[in-house]
Amino acid sequence: MTLAFLDNNFKIVDFKNLEAEQTRSVYPNSNNVKYVVEANKDTFKKLGVEIGDFLIHKGDVLVLRKSKQ
């Protein structure tokens, strides 16, 4: 599983991977985390989701908004 850590503006500030049955805690590289989104391992990578992108909750879905590069 992969965790995406988001700030209060829903911007992704970090990703961390977890292994099955992992007992060790993981922490983001940012102190500005307000939300965490969990997905199957490599899902974010396969979808091209990167740090700086936004995951916005609208109704029952998450909408990806790419950061301007």
Please report, for residues 13, 19, 30, 59, the alpha-carbon distance to residue 54 in angstroms, rounded to integers and kept in the order given. Answer: 9, 25, 16, 16
Whole-prediction pTM: 0.86
Mean pLDDT, range 32-52, rounded to an integer: 94
Residue 26: strand, helix, or coil: coil
Numbers of helices and strands, H then E, in the chain: 1, 5
Closest CA to 63 of 26, 37, 45, 29: 37
Q: What is the pLDDT of residues 18-34, one digit of tens each?
A: 888 878 888 888 889 99
Closest CA to 39 of 51, 49, 31: 49
